[in-house]
A and B are shown apart, each in its own frame.
Chain A
Amino acid sequence: MTAAVIEETPLPSGTSRRWVQRLWKNRNGKTGLVVLFVLVVAALAAAFGLLPYDPLEAHQKDALTGPSAEYLFGTDQFGRDVLSRLATGVLASLRIALLSVLMATLVGGLAGVAAGFFGGWVDRVAGRLADVVFAFPAILLALAIITALGRGWLITSVAIAVVYTPIFFRVARGPVLSVREADFVKAGRVLGYGSLRLLLKHVLPNVAAPIIIQIALALSWAILTESTLSFLGLGTQPPDPSLGLMVNEGRTLFTQAWWLLVMPSSAIVLAVVGLNLLGDGVRDVLDPRRRG
């Protein structure tokens, strides 16, 4: 360990408004915030029943009609409104993404901070566990968990959370290793602070930035993984709408109804790209090395 001087530079706390302002001034951050806003509006509309149609209601005589004033994004083979189904699918995706990232952050982040701070056998065991989870390709692991535990949005969230937990573990552990040796932590020890107080009040705020950056990026991956699982028929089950399932149905009907493939595909790409940009923007704002 080199004797690098690490100063106590916690997150810009208490200035959350300025934080969002800086994000808004960042080009990536702005695009990401706009996309997030659109997604949240769509999800809220679905949650509070403000959609033009019931997403499950079939209008047989209007089956497979293209985008029009009546049905903005067209209808599917049963005459169900694609826009309403998309918004409901976004709600399902966001719910799973938020819950899974929350679980992964709590479990992986806390385990990583603890492993880095205490070291020793805790660190070795947790690190080896993370390696094992890492050795599975993400989709394969999620598939295996869903097959074992059953289907449903809660289990999908757990499956995605397990996949991303080791990432949060590593992201949290790394910076703790250097902060642990910093002068302000040693000073705290000399002052007789307990481990818990040091960990929560002095170490955690100083390693929060990489974790927050990771949260933004993980949201984008979680949406990607969720839609992949439902595309494979292992996520949200029909007739409930989900983005991945809509793509799978749309591709067989592409020659008759292009909008059935194009609309959900665009929604997924928009969500994944947008949240990815949000992650980049958050990194630009939070990472001191990138601050111009």
Chain B
Amino acid sequence: MKRSANPAPTPAEGGRAVTTATEPVSSPARKRPRLSRRYLLRRLADVVVTLFGVAVSAFVLLRLLPGDEVTGRLGVEAGNLTPAQLESVRAYYGLDQPLPMQFLSWMGSVFQGNFGVSVTTGEPVSTLLANALPVTVELALLSTLIGVGLGVPLGVLAAAKSNGPGDAAAQTFSLLGLGIPNFVLASGIIAFLSAQFGYFPSAAEYVGITDSPLVNLQQQMYPALVLGFALAATVMRTTRSAFLEQSAQDFVRTARGKGLSNSRVRWRHVLHNASIPIVTITGIQLGYLLGGTIVVEQVFGLPGLGRLVLTGIQQREYAVVQSVVLVIAAMFVLVNLCVDLLYARIDPRVQLS
């Protein structure tokens, strides 16, 4: 769709056909940018609206909880505080304000980089986020690396020899990858490691990548394998079907006809054209990946965002949970925006406007 560029309102389909006929993609006279500023602004506006919705729902959901973070922490029911003391603590945390005011003041301070204070530890939430974010980002990147690095070649090989024994093996792999829940695979790996090698992945203190890259990688490896396995299965499926679809196209026959080797046709030409669905599914799966980190970080004892939000939920830390939810949702929405923008780079025919 490219409404902005056409002076006369032509039907979208017809308009595209005419433009491509008169204006070849390689023409140097082509001035229209593929990615219009208007498109980018509209998408960014969408992102802001979605994130605002997320912020409101995170805020409202947590306010449905019986009790608040002060009673949750200090146990007023047990009689630790007099009503007067309770009121003053509430006032200190701003919990005596009406809900819309609480929401506005929260949003206001978020924009100033102030995410509030953890009631349990007294630490600023921004510090907690700054500590947890790198752990989860590293885990997500490693998992994506494993998932794409395993899924794409497997999918290409499965499609190249479709209906052969390799294809059947790859199909079984993808079925198991989709069917084995994260927590089952994680529990299985931990049980195996501890029974066979006496190694307990969750026992040791987490070491940052800047402190000791080797120890850090060892700690991140198994959780990343768990998440990467599931991702690889989905990526493999998509790669296989996109690859089979593209293999039937004319440009493949042309490439072969001009004498290119099978592997060059396969890995360069077909894969390039099959990459849009692969990028799409990887982007979508990143949302699942971020959810999966909650489970996997818990099982492997990684101090990332997932673990932060889970303990936050258990301890009714509004400020912590709201902030993590906002950060995770922002990551998810931005990744999807990046995926859309990537299309235009992968496929010159895509017009974003």
Footprint of B on A, CB under 8 Å? 2, 128-129, 131-132, 134-140, 143-145, 147-149, 220, 224, 227-228, 231-232, 244, 247-248, 250-251, 254-255, 258, 261, 265, 268-269, 272-273, 276-277
* A251 with B191, Cβ < 8 A, contacts A144-B325, A277-B175 known: yes
Interchain CB contact under 8 A, A144 and B191? no
Supposing A137-B332, A276-B178, A277-B175 touch, asked if A244 and B294 sit within 8 A by C-beta, the answer is: no
Establish whether residues A140 and B328, one from each chain, have CB atoms under 8 Å apart when the complex forms: yes
Residues of B near any A CB (own CB < 8 A) = 13, 46, 49-51, 53-54, 57-58, 61-62, 64-65, 175-176, 178-184, 187-188, 190-191, 194-195, 287-288, 290-292, 294-295, 298, 309-310, 313-314, 316, 321, 325, 328-329, 332-333
**Given B51, B57, B180, B291, which contacts A139 in the complex, CB threshold below 8 Å?**
B291
Number of contacts between A and B (CB, 8 Å)? 123
B288 partner, pick from A132, A138, A273, beta carbons under 8 A: A138
Q: Which 7 A-B pairs have the closest CB atoms?
A: A137-B291, A273-B179, A132-B53, A254-B191, A251-B187, A148-B64, A139-B291
| Sampled A-B contacts (7; CB under 8 Å) | A132-B54, A135-B53, A139-B295, A140-B290, A140-B328, A148-B64, A232-B295
Residues of B within 8 A of A138 (CB): 288, 291
CB-based contact A228/B295 at 8 Å = yes
Interface of A is mostly: helix
Evaluate contact between A276 and B325: CB separation under 8 angstroms: no
A145 CA to B182 CA, complexed, in Å: 21
B53 to chain A: which residues have CB within 8 Å? 128-129, 131-132, 135
Q: Determine whether the beta carbon of B188 is less than 8 Å from that of A261.
A: yes
Residues of A within 8 A of B292 (CB): 137, 139
- Prevailing SS type, chain B contact patch: helix
* Chain A neighbourhood of B64, CB < 8 A: 148-149
Q: How far is the CA of A134 from the CA of B290 in the complex (A)?
A: 13
In the complex, A80→B325 CA distance in Å?
40
Q: How far is the CB of A171 from chain B (nearest CB, A)?
A: 14
By a CB distance below 8 angstroms, the chain A residues around B49 are 128
